[in-house]
Amino acid sequence: MLTFEDIRRNPVFRTLIEKSNAYLRARGYTEHGMRHVTYVANTTAMILRELGYSERMVELGLITGYLHDVGNMHNRKHHGITGASIVYTELRMLGMDLEEICTITTAIANHEEEIGHAVTPMTAALIIADKSDAHRTRVHKKGEIGSSIHRRVNLAILDSKLSVDRASRTITFEIEFDQQSCQIMDYFEIYLRRMEMCKEAAELLGTRFRLVINGLELLGHLQDGLEPPLTGVS
C-alpha cells in the first residue's frame, strides 16, 4: 500500500512539482513549489482528520494535496485535468489501488475555480486547503513578472489561518489584512470566486465556512453571492 512518504521520496513527483513551479514563476504567478504543496497536503489531511475521516483517507489527503498542482508543468489553463491525467498514469505504474487513484485524481481534476466542483469529500478538503494558502510569503522577489493587483493583494495578507471546529461543524479562514497598503475590495476581485468555492466545499463536508478578515466575518455576503460592503473593512 503506497504511503505519503513513498510519494514524497519519489524523485519523479519532486521533479514534476519543481517544473510546475518554474513554469508558473516564469508566467508571473505566486509560489507553487514545495512550500505550497506541503501546506496543501498537510491542510487537506487536517480537514479530513478533524472531521472524523479514516486514517487511510487522511493519508490519501496528504498525497492528493502534494500532487494537486503538477499539471501546471504544461499550462495553467485546465491544469487540474492535466495534473489528474499525469498522476493517474504515475500511480498506476506504481501499483496503487484503482479506487484510491480515482479518489485522488477526481479531487485534483476539480480543485481549480474555472471548472472545478466539490463532488467528493476529498475534492472538498483539497479545494479549501488550496484556496486558503494566501500569504505575502508566496510573492516572488520584486522585479519578476507579475500582475500588480495579485502582488499587492498577496503582500497585504500579513497572516492567515485555517481552523476546523468539529463540534460546531465550522471551518474558519482568518486573514490579517494590511488595509494601508491595499484596498480590501482588491482582495475580493481576486478571491471572491475562490471563497464561494470554499463555501460550497464546506457544505459538502456538512460544515459551515466562515471567512473572517481583520476580525470581521464576511460569510453572509458570500452566501448571497454579493460583494462585501466597504464599511468597516477598507
Domain ranges, ordered by start, for the chain: 4-223
Question: Using an 8 Å Cβ cutoff, are 198 and 118 in contact?
Answer: no
| CA dist 188 → 32, 59, 211, 217 (Å) | 21, 33, 12, 14
Return left, alpha or beta for 189; rule: phi > 0 is left, psi -120 to 50 is alpha, else beta. alpha
Q: What is the pLDDT of residue 82?
A: 96
Whether 221 has a pLDDT exceeding 70, the answer reads: no
pLDDT in tens, 1-13: 999 999 999 999 9
Q: What DSSP string runs through 34-71? A: HHHHHHHHHHHHHHHHHTT--HHHHHHHHHHHHHTTGG
Whether 144 has a pLDDT exceeding 80, the answer reads: no
Report the alpha-carbon distance of residue 112 to residue 53 in Å, rounded: 23
- Mean of pLDDT values over 98-120: 95
pLDDT in tens, 18-74: 999 898 888 877 778 799 999 999 999 999 999 999 999 999 999 999 999 999 889
Whether 98 has a pLDDT exceeding 70, the answer reads: yes
Report the alpha-carbon distance of residue 126 to residue 106 in Å, rounded: 11
- 60 or 76: which leads in pLDDT: 60
- 191 or 124: which leads in pLDDT: 124
Q: What is the pLDDT of residue 200?
A: 96
| DSSP H or E segment with residue 164 | strand 157-165
Report the alpha-carbon distance of residue 14 to residue 7 in Å, rounded: 9
Q: How confident is the model at residue 183 (pLDDT cuts 50, 70, 90)?
A: confident
Report the alpha-carbon distance of residue 209 to residue 171 in Å, rounded: 5
pTM metric for this prediction:
0.87
Report the alpha-carbon distance of residue 195 to residue 131 in Å, rounded: 7
The domain made up of 4-223 is a member of CATH 3.90.79: no
